[in-house]
Amino acid sequence: MRKILALHTGGTISMHEDELGQVLPGEENPIARAEIALPENVEIINEEIFNLPSPHITPAHMLQLKERILYAIQHENVQGIVITHGTDTLEETAYFLDSTIQLMFPIVLTGAMRSSNELGSDGLYNFLSALRVASDNKAIGKGVLVVMNDEIHTARYVTKTHTTNVATFRTPTHGPIGIVTKTEIVFFHQLQYQEKYNISTVDGNIPIIKAYAGMTDEIFNMLDFHKTNGLVIEALGAGNLPPKVLEGLKKVLLNDIPVVLVSRCFNGIAEPVYAYTGGGMELAKLGVMFSNGINSQKARLKLLIGLNAKLKGTELSDFIHDA
């Protein structure tokens, strides 16, 4: 018998639509109490750890989830984890767990785009699919996974791409790692190992700034350097910034604030290619760290994890770059 712990955190998958068309959380999570046909030899333990819309989720909640998972594995003979979560920040929670948990057992996140009483609600189906993946031996060693709409994605690269569509979760550049069929779980790819840090704190103020045409250094000069622990920039193209940004950016770096750069493009990898003023090569020489293929919200979490793991210098830049 394989024991799966289902941790319910709230989100649309646990909400209902009222007579006015408003989607709201209720006092009880209907998914946690639903009767479903479980995979053979699977026992499920439901636990409502939070009941929060996902915009309310913080890194402190992610840390609490990580600690609960580790306790379950070490003391409760659990062989897999399923987490139901609101979709707005699901990818961030998944990425945080993937970057902080060393163990090989399956951890699967899922959610819904339609509330529990809407026509065509996808929550119960996604939950069952996630349970199937978490109880499958082939999911062992695949890292934290996101299962939605019959697709299996890695926490490292998946992102929400549509505000309402049930097929919202996509993996740019790489595609899904596997699929859920009627009869089996099929995996196509295996990710390379990424360093993980079992942190116990999530302290730090790390804003995200998005680059745009005609941008100046005004927003950089507005930062309180004493209260800023790091900075993530969504740069243009392959990793470039308008030239008038540079003076403000240099002030940030001179205050020993680590700066991570990603591309605002949906596909591809940011890298120091261009040598003109504001180009990626100049930014790299200034000390900006390029993150390899993850989006800004995940790069922010990665920097937060690195800082709380007390990484500095080359060790921090290697961790940021490694994807």
Active site residues: 12
What's the CA gap between 71 and 78, in Å, rounded? 9
Contact between 196 and 99 under an 8 Å Cβ cutoff? The reply is yes
- What DSSP string runs through 139-203? GTTS-EEEEETTEEEETTT-EE--SS-TT-EE-TTT--SEEE-SS-EEE---PPP------S---
Neighbours of 77 (CB within 10 A): 9
Residues contacting 2, CB < 8 A, separation 6+: 41, 42, 43, 79, 80, 135
Query: Running DSSP on this structure, what letter comes out for residue 13?
Result: G
- What DSSP string runs through 46-79? EEE-----GGG--HHHHHHHHHHHHHHHHHS---
What's the CA gap between 168 and 148, in Å, rounded? 9
Contact between 130 and 110 under an 8 Å Cβ cutoff? The reply is yes
Angle between helices 59-75 and 90-100 (to 10 degrees): 50
* Tokens representing residue 138 in the block: 């082939």
* Tokens representing residue 297 in the block: 């919200």
Which amino acid appears at position 119 of this protein?
L
